[in-house]
């Protein structure tokens, strides 16, 4: 066993003598955090303040650590590397963003667990990374042999310690927002987020920069459009010589990845469900008027009010009367589970493919709260930043195919759900009122699909009629709102 000798280091600070004990082996000196410090003239007390390690003859040696891709849940074993936020030679700290990866369910930002220097990137953009395999090599700081180590106690006030804890907490921000902050030398810990759960938005960074410097980021320069030169009138136009057309294009094959890979699995399972359809038309004339009145109110609150929050809330009120439509079945269809929460999914068309995030607990939300959450999901969906929590847990789905075009659709159920609705475009069409007079009506068609193993046509028809009545007479929704 290596001989152990006791070192005693005496230091005098602020007219008080501090005694600190160290243990040194033959090969290395290990500085131990002092638990107890004796101040002459004062009783002993437990030491818990920060310290700084000063080295007299110490040298530093880099230790290479392989930063591996951890399990991100949901049974995901592989991801696609979509973007690197670092390069070889960059210095990173804990919680700094390393890269953004995309699974078949969501996009995830990977952050560093170490302080150090990036030495190697194992993947290129669009490469497939596997759970448990290295992502990057990070050179961390390590201590070599030293003859003597001295621990200098720092007098840190309670206010400073509390401030460090606040700054050390994890900030919520998308990679794009982090990059904008880094480019303008802004610490995210100094910015107050206005998003959900304190999330820092792009507007927060711009407002912070404007307050600090009084300047606003300049807009991107627009290319100057040069008018074509005038053609001389006296020049004769040559007759073009016909040449055979040669097409040089080639077919290309690429793997199915990301959200499209998830859609393959989901739709394959969905087509095993015996679907039945039910279609109807809804007169939204009164709802169109109501929305026009409420749009300025929502705009003053910073929310874009579309028709979807009304469709979602009306569906939730209908599900309270017909809970079988807010249920799920097991794979063998031997058990049905009635869901307490109305997590209504909204099908979205993005550059990555079809995604279906859901608005959680619609049964306890107001129309404005549904609109606020819908705005957040649409913003993150466009940026490809939806989390796994946003994309899972749905109990009922609406697909607004009419925002692109079309009147009818045959929607496919997302298992393990049992029903889905497809909403067509709103069109101005002539209709008769109760007096037999023709008037201009705002008509939307809806196409429902349901699992015929547990739902029959009568239930779907009654639910559709109730949902339709709420939308044709929006005031009636007030009677059932909670």
Q: Which of 197, 118, 200 is nearest to 187 (CA)?
A: 200
Secondary structure letter of residue 32 according to DSSP: P
Residues 6+ apart with CB under 8 A from 100: 81, 82, 83, 85, 107, 108, 109, 110, 175
- 158 as an active site residue: the answer is no
Q: Which of 447, 455, 463 is nearest to 410 (CA)?
A: 447
- 127 as an active site residue: the answer is no
Residues 6+ apart with CB under 8 A from 246: none
Dihedrals phi, psi of 103, to nearest 5 degrees: -95, -170
The single residue of 51, 349, 452, 480 carrying the catalytic annotation is 452
Distance CA 405, CA 356 (A): 19
Token representation of residue 479? 């009677």
- Exposure string of 10-21, with b = 16+ CB inside 10 Å and e = fewer, is eeeeeeeebebe
Secondary structure letter of residue 200 according to DSSP: B
Dihedrals phi, psi of 475, to nearest 5 degrees: -60, -25
Q: Which of 301, 284, 282 is nearest to 292 (CA)?
A: 284
Distance CA 302, CA 113 (A): 37
Specify which residues 17 forms β-bridges with: 12
Q: Using CB atoms within 10 Å of the CB of residue 477, give its burial: 0 to 12 exposed, 13 to 18 middle, 19+ buried.
A: middle
Strands 91-92 and 107-111: unpaired
Angle 326-342-346 from CA coordinates, rounded to 5°: 95
Residues with catalytic function: 452, 456
């Amino acid at each position: 066993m290596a001989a152990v000798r006791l070192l005693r280091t005496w230091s005098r600070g602020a007219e008080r003598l501090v005694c600190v004990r160290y243990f040194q082996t033959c090969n290395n000196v290990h500085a131990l955090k002092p638990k107890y410090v004796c101040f002459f003239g004062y009783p002993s007390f437990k030491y818990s303040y920060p310290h700084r390690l000063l080295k007299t003859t110490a040298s530093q040696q880099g230790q290479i650590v392989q930063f591996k891709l951890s399990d991100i849940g949901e049974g995901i074993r592989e991801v696609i590397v979509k973007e690197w936020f670092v390069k070889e030679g960059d210095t990173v700290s804990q919680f700094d963003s390393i890269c953004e990866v995309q699974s078949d369910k969501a996009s995830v930002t990977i952050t560093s667990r170490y302080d150090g220097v990036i030495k190697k990137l194992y993947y290129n953009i669009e490469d497939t990374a596997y759970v448990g395999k290295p992502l990057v090599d990070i050179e961390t700081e390590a201590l070599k042999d030293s003859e003597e180590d001295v621990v200098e106690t720092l007098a840190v006030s309670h206010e400073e310690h509390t401030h460090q804890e606040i700054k050390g907490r994890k900030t919520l921000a998308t990679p794009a927002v982090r990059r904008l902050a880094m480019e303008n030398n802004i610490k995210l810990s100094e910015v107050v987020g206005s998003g959900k759960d304190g999330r820092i938005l792009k507007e927060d960074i711009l407002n912070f920069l404007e307050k600090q410097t009084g300047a606003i980021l300049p807009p991107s320069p627009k290319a100057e459009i040069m008018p074509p030169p005038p053609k001389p009138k006296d020049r004769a136009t040559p007759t073009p010589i016909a040449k055979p057309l040669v097409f040089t294009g080639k077919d290309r094959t690429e793997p199915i990845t990301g959200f499209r890979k998830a859609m393959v699995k989901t739709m394959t399972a969905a087509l095993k469900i015996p679907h039945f359809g039910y279609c109807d038309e809804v007169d939204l004339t009164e709802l169109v008027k109501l929305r026009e009145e409420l749009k300025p109110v929502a705009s003053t609150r910073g929310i874009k009010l579309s028709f979807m929050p009304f469709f979602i809330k009306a569906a939730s009120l209908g599900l309270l009367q017909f809970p079988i439509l807010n249920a799920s079945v097991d794979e063998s269809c031997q058990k049905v589970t009635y869901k307490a929460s109305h997590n209504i999914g909204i099908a979205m068309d993005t550059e990555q493919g079809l995604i279906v995030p859901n608005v959680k607990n619609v049964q306890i939300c107001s129309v404005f709260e549904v609109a606020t959450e819908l705005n957040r999901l649409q913003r993150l969906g466009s940026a490809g930043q939806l989390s796994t929590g946003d994309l899972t847990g749905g109990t009922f789905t609406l697909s607004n195919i009419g925002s692109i075009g079309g009147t009818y659709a045959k929607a496919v159920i997302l298992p393990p759900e049992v029903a889905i609705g497809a909403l067509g475009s709103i069109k101005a069409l002539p209709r008769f009122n109760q007096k037999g007079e023709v008037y201009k009506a705002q008509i939307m068609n809806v196409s429902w699909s349901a699992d015929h193993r547990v739902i029959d046509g009568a239930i779907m028809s009654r639910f559709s009629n109730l949902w339709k009545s709420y939308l044709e007479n929006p005031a009636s929704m007030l009677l059932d709102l909670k």
